[in-house]
Amino acid sequence: MIYPIVKYGDPVLERPAENVTEFDTPELHKLIEDMFESMYAARGVGLAAPQIGISRRIAVIDCSAGENPAEKIVLINPEIIATSGIQTGEEGCLSLPGFRETVSRPNRVTVRAQDVKGEVFEMTGEELLARAFMHETDHLNGTLYISHVSPLKRDLIRRKIRKLAKAGEWA
C-alpha cells in the first residue's frame, strides 16, 4: 500500500516518535514493506514512519533508489553512536517537496539499530548513506533538516510554504 507523504506543518513531523517494542509481527513486516513502496513511489532514498503519519521509530533507506536490493536498509529504534568528518551538500526531504538546501553533516556515521526481528546491529556509512542515517534519525526525534540551515533561510522557506498553503498548493 502506498501512503501519502505527510508535509511540513503536520505536528507528527515535529514530535519524537515512539519506540518499537514488538518485533517480527505480520503488522511490522507489512508496515516496512509499505514504507519502501511509499518511498519508491515518491522517488526518495529515505523515509521515516512519521512521514506517513505513524509516530514510531522506524526508517527505511535505499541509496540506490530501488536499483539494488542489497542496499535496502531498515532501521528500528536507531541511535547515532559515532560520527566523524564533515560533508557539505544539498539535502532535500519528501515532506518539503520543491526545496533543497545546503546542509553540513558528518561524513562518516555509525548507527545502532534493531532489525525487523529485534536483533541489534551496527552499521557505518559514508557520504550519502551517512547523510541518510543523520536525516532519518533526526526525523524520528522530531527534527527536520531545515533545523540545520540558517535562521534566515529557514524563515524564507517557511514564508514560501505559507504562501503555497494559502494558494492551496501545500496539502
Part of the chain binding Ni ion (CB under 5 A), chosen from 76-84, 91-99, 109-117, 150-158 = 91-99
The CB-of-101 to Ni ion minimum distance in angstroms stands at 12
Residue 120 corresponds to which cell in the numbers above?
541489534
Q: State yes or no: residue 35 binds Ni ion (CB under 5 A).
A: no
55 vs 14: CA distance, rounded Å? 10
Q: How many residues belong to the site for Ni ion (CB under 5 A)?
A: 1
Name the residue nearer to Ni ion (CB basis): 58 or 93: 93
107 vs 105: CA distance, rounded Å? 6
CB under 8 Å to 6, separation ≥6 — which residues?
12, 13, 50, 51, 52, 53, 95
Q: State yes or no: residue 93 binds Ni ion (CB under 5 A).
A: yes
162 vs 160: CA distance, rounded Å? 5
CB 148 within 8 A of CB 135: no
The CB-of-138 to Ni ion minimum distance in angstroms stands at 8
Catalytic residue among 22, 126, 136, 169: 136
Q: State yes or no: residue 61 binds Ni ion (CB under 5 A).
A: no
88 vs 69: CA distance, rounded Å? 27
CB 73 within 8 A of CB 124: no
Reply yes or no on whether 169 is catalytic: no
- The residue sitting closest to Ni ion, measured at its beta carbon, is 93
Which residues sit at the interface with Ni ion, rule CB under 5 A? 93
- Show which residues are catalytic: 136
